[in-house]
Structure 1
């Protein structure tokens, strides 16, 4: 099993949305960065665990955990001309983008804010805390995962 961090805007899909329907598989779509797409397509596996990170909000931070319930398949939004994620170069025969499905696992009692993650020395190599990182899907090492869980436990 691997660990991941997926960024989402909470008004698009939040940990509360996942928690409201814990048995439901939610489409994780709209990834339009090639490196993030490659992680989804080539490395994300069934039952991997994912930190759900709320971005573009005040404050940004890790809100909970989901798991991968369906591995990569063609992102349907790339074919929908009314979607913000439409890609005119994508075809059913040659899709360019993938989606996965996630399922709720846990909501944290409090959001673990980015500023607290940045202050935790053992996370300094994590792409999330490095300046200018915009990647929406990123791997999390075993050590980083455990350190973040300990931060969550300490703030509860």
Structure 2
């Protein structure tokens, strides 16, 4: 299993909206960055991810799971872009911020810290375990 981080502006797509989609989940559409698209192409069913509210909040608020592998993004007319579907698994008990990650000795090398603009990014096994402990969920 691989781990990921999905960033969203809460006024565009929030954790509450993701939760409301239930077991069916929702496509992670609208991504127009080649690196983020290529990350989604690597995802497999059951991969887990952090749901991250960007902009003002800058914090991890939930855990999601990939429920459909890469497929054409229905919001794209060009045929270049793909997306995965994700479903909410659980909220985190203690949301952690970008600052928390920057200040943690191991997490300071995370892609979230080094390339915070990338909307879909991998998370290492070690980073996943550390963050799960910090946010109060089982890895």
How high is the TM-score relative to the length of structure 2?
0.92
Give the distance between the partners of 1:47 and 1:2, measured in 2 at CA. Answer: 9
Describe how 1:11-22 pairs up with structure 2 within 5 A: 11-22=11-22
Q: Does 1:122 align with 2:102?
A: no
Give the distance between the partners of 1:5 and 1:13, measured in 2 at CA. Answer: 15
Describe how 1:1-156 pairs up with structure 2 within 5 A: 1-41=1-41, 43-57=42-56, 59-79=57-77, 90=78, 95-130=79-114, 133-153=116-136
Instruction: Give the number of the structure whose alpha-carbon radius of gyration is greater.
Output: 1
How far off is 1:124 after superposition?
Answer: 1.8
Gaps of 5+ in 2: none
Question: Aligned-pair RMSD on alpha carbons?
Answer: 1.5
Q: Contact 2:72 / 2:83 at 8 angstroms: preserved in 1?
A: yes
Give the distance between the partners of 1:21 and 1:126, measured in 2 at CA. Answer: 29
How far off is 1:75 after superposition?
Answer: 0.6
How far off is 1:78 after superposition?
Answer: 1.1
Pairs aligned (count): 137
Q: Structure 2 vs 1, CA of residues 101 and 111 (structure 1 numbering), >3 Å: closer, same or farther?
A: same
SS of the counterpart of 1:76? coil
How far off is 1:101 after superposition?
Answer: 0.6
Give the distance between the partners of 1:153 and 1:5, measured in 2 at CA. Answer: 17
Q: Contact 2:53 / 2:59 at 8 angstroms: preserved in 1?
A: yes
Runs of 4+ in 1 over 4 A off after TM superposition: none
How far off is 1:152 after superposition?
Answer: 1.0
How high is the TM-score relative to the length of structure 1?
0.82
Q: Contact 2:93 / 2:136 at 8 angstroms: preserved in 1?
A: no
Instruction: Please give the per-residue CA displacement for 1:62-105, whole angstroms capped at 9, x wherever unaligned.
Output: 001010000111111112xxxxxxxxxx1xxxx21001111110
